[in-house]
Amino acid sequence: MTTPVIGVLALQGDVREHLIALAAADAVARPVRRPEELAEVDGLVLPGGESTTISKLAELFGLMEPLRERIAAGMPVYGTCAGLIMLADKILDPRSGQETFGGIDMIVRRNAFGRQNESFEAGVSVAGIEDGPVEGVFIRAPWVESVGATVEVLAEHGGHIVAVRQGNALATSFHPELTGDHRIHALFVDMVRAAG
């Protein structure tokens, strides 16, 4: 089986940690900053960071429309934290002019778990991930308010949805790339292989 080439959107956020986690999960990982780099990958990770900034930089780098088109066409994509916000079809409390790539029929609330100083870690049981809970690092994390009928809820924390999947799109409110546990990245690499 060929090794999938998976990009990490490298406009802002914890790009390096995702590149390391993807490599540990047997993918060829590379940063993506331009449309021509996007065209060369089999799947894409949207890292955490600041969703408003990612939105503005994606426009600036000419990536907004190419990304929307590839996601709509079924390219596997995985978003963490701000990446989850970027995959939402609707944001409850968007900043002025903030846009998303879309791809998951969900409504999200930005910074739902509180400010930076309210960040926390917690064990999260994720459907499809074996050998116990993953350590979720929640940093100014969003949560999913509601999902459409075709969205699979993979995990909840404190009564709120924190991991979802719809087709080839996967999203978590938390940051598994910061823990050294690469099981969610391995799940995503399997999704990219299956889509190939």
Which residue numbers are catalytic? Answer: 81, 175, 177
Q: Which residue has the tokens 């939402």?
A: 88
Beta bridge partners of 152: 165
Tell how strand 134-138 and strand 120-124 pair up: antiparallel
Does residue 33 contact residue 10 with C-beta atoms inside 8 Å? Answer: yes
Give start and end residues of each alpha helix (H) in 2-93. Answer: 15-24, 35-38, 51-60, 64-72, 82-87
